[in-house]
């Protein structure tokens, strides 16, 4: 017989555990609307593959990446003779000459940047080529001008030109008030990345370089016309973000006003901007380190139309399972998503509470310009990508298995018609072997991954995934108290947050951090899959 005190102690501990568990709300993030942008999407990952789930109704987007897809190539990073500059750098620092020390280190001590030997000559040749186009030639309506909305404070990448570097022309107009006839004007364009050459009515009125410089150019009265005047801006972007970013100023931008007048009295430029990509292949910019790359997007376009009600998307961080559910035309649709570490795949199941209601087209796309989508077999679509700056290439396979219904695979999409439910399996691999070799076949890797998961039901895959994940997650728990705010959507909780009103949000935040670490980095991996979107470089 157990000792009476031990029996009482065990009973108390069981009661305490049950009380704590009963008082805790599920560890989850949840929202009453789809993600409007990448940072709103819900992350899933297995340390090798990462995905951002948007939860759209008419179109689902899962943006994904793979841990070994980078720019760069095997090369020698060491700068010959660097050691002899160590003591001079130390001496400059001792003398308080920080700027001189940094300049000396950058030129002679830091590692060799990729492309640095050839860059200056290639850049000069490229600039000569793109600047050979005259403003009259650029303004011609024969170019494929497209509509554009300004400003784009986070670069043109955030507005649809993801991964773009190069030369881009922008044009719009402004109306000259009759009272300003004969006056010089100031044109305010704000900040621009990186170089601009700006024209009014075909005459250059200014040029500058650097994101920190505010573009304010004098427009001579002799250049102006009564009524409508045309503005053209050639923007040269060599690396990273580009475009007219405008709004990061205290005074109005994208306006014209009489020289010396209050900018607030200015006339705004016509918001109906247009753009034309003149050249999207500038020379590769020198870099010390390689850059992590996004891989692609899986897009699911649903044939079911109509307004969605009872919408909810969530991420259960106790199980590492995301979920989207809504009702449309009287049918409740549910999607579940997870990133399986044992199977090295992103898995998604689609169900409905009525038979035969799952119909969609699935596509793969990528921000990398060198890409190809092709059919693998009757259930599988492939995406192949090649990074522009480097030797790495990757292949992703998307397989659809359906209960009832019809699956058709072409060279650009998978079409699913009238299924009761469907399971989508997405995997990806690259030719990366190690930092000195990039010569393996990614096709063989993804084929093997799909074979490893074949024959497994979604339920089996999900059970296996949760067990694997919880071996890492369940070793720690925390309870900071509870409140009614736990019933609110996560975005509403954050807006109303205070430690006293919602202590459980602090615990959720802590556990979410652990979830992200487990999902982005596993034992034996190379480094966290910390970025799942952004521009390809």
Q: Interhelix angle for 98-108 vs 86-94, to 10°?
A: 170
Euclidean distance between CA atoms 391 and 106, whole angstroms: 26
Q: How far is CA 9 from CA 20, 22, 232, in A?
A: 16, 20, 80
pLDDT at residue 520 is higher than 60: yes
176 in Cβ contact with 224 (< 8 Å): yes
238 in Cβ contact with 114 (< 8 Å): no
Structure confidence by residue, pLDDT tens digits, 155-205: 998 888 988 999 999 999 999 999 999 999 999 999 999 999 999 999 999
Q: Percent of the chain scored above 90 by pLDDT?
A: 85
pLDDT of residue 24: 52
pLDDT of residue 25: 57
Structure confidence by residue, pLDDT tens digits, 4-50: 454 444 444 443 443 444 345 579 999 999 999 999 999 999 999 99
Euclidean distance between CA atoms 41 and 451, whole angstroms: 30
249 pLDDT band, cuts 50/70/90, is low
Average pLDDT over residues 513-521: 96
Cα–Cα nearest to 436, from 19, 76, 22 = 76
Structure confidence by residue, pLDDT tens digits, 80-93: 999 999 999 999 99
Domains of the chain in sequence order: 22-65+292-520 (2.70.98.50), 85-114 (no CATH), 126-279 (2.60.120.260)
Only one residue has tokens 């700068």, namely: 79
Q: Which residues lie below 8 Å from residue 467, measured CB to CB, with a gap of 6+? A: none
Provide the 10 A C-beta neighbour count for residue 495: 9
Euclidean distance between CA atoms 5 and 389, whole angstroms: 70
Q: Residue 308 pairs with which residues in a beta bridge?
A: 328
Euclidean distance between CA atoms 337 and 432, whole angstroms: 27
Structure confidence by residue, pLDDT tens digits, 395-443: 999 999 999 999 999 999 999 999 999 999 999 999 999 989 999 999 9
Average pLDDT over residues 218-244: 96
Euclidean distance between CA atoms 221 and 231, whole angstroms: 15
Output DSSP code: residue 388.
S
Q: What is the dihedral of CA 519, 413, 71, 436, to 10 degrees?
A: 80
């Amino acid at each position: 017989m157990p000792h009476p005190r031990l029996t009482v102690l065990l009973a108390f501990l069981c009661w305490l555990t049950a009380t704590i568990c009963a008082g805790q709300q599920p560890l989850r993030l949840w929202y009453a609307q789809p993600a409007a942008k990448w940072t709103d999407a819900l992350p899933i990952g297995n340390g090798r593959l990462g995905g951002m789930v948007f939860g759209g109704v008419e179109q689902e987007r899962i943006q994904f990446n793979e841990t070994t897809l980078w720019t760069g190539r095997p090369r020698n990073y060491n700068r010959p003779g660097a050691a002899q500059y160590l003591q001079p750098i130390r001496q400059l620092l001792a003398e308080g000459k920080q700027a001189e020390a940094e300049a000396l280190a950058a030129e002679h001590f830091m590692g060799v940047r990729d492309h640095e030997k050839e860059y200056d000559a290639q850049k000069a040749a490229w600039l000569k080529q793109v600047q050979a186009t005259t403003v009259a030639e650029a303004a011609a309506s024969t170019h494929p001008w497209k509509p554009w909305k300004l400003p784009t404070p986070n670069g043109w990448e955030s507005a649809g030109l993801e991964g773009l570097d190069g030369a881009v022309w922008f044009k719009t107009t402004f109306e000259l008030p009759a009272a300003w006839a004969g006056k010089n004007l100031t044109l305010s364009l704000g900040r621009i990345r990186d170089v601009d050459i700006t024209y009014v009515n075909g005459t250059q009125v200014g040029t500058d370089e650097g994101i920190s410089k505010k573009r304010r150019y004098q427009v001579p009265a002799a250049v102006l016309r009564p009524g409508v005047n045309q503005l053209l801006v050639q923007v040269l972007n060599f690396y990273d973000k580009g475009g007219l970013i405008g709004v990061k100023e205290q005074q109005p931008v994208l306006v014209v006003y009489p020289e010396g007048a209050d900018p607030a009295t200015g006339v705004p430029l016509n918001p109906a901007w247009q753009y034309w990509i003149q050249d999207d292949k500038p020379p590769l910019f020198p870099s010390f380190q390689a850059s992590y790359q996004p891989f692609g997007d899986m897009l699911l376009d649903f044939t079911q139309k109509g307004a969605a009600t009872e919408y909810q998307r969530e991420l259960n961080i106790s199980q590492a399972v995301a979920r989207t559910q809504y009702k449309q035309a009287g049918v409740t649709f549910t999607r579940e998503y997870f990133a399986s570490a044992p199977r090295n795949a992103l898995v998604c199941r689609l169900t409905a509470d009525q038979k035969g209601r799952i119909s969609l087209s699935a596509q793969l796309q990528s921000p990398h310009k060198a890409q190809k989508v092709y059919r693998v077999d009757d259930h599988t679509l492939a995406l192949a990508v090649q990074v522009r700056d480097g030797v790495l290439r990757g292949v992703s396979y998307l397989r659809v298995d359906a209960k009832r219904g019809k699956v058709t695979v072409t060279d650009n999409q998978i079409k699913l018609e009238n299924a009761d439910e469907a399971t989508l399996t997405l995997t990806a691999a690259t030719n990366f072997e190690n930092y000195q070799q990039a010569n393996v076949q990614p096709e063989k890797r993804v084929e093997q991954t799909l074979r490893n998961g074949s024959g497994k039901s979604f339920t089996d895959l999900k059970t296996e995934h949760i067990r694997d994940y919880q071996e890492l997650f369940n070793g720690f728990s925390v309870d900071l108290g509870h409140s009614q705010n736990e019933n609110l959507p996560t975005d509403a909780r954050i807006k109303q947050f205070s430690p006293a009103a919602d202590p459980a949000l602090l615990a959720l935040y802590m556990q979410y951090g652990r979830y992200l670490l487990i999902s982005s980095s596993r034992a034996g991996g190379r480094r966290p899959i910390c970025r799942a979107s952004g521009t390809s470089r």
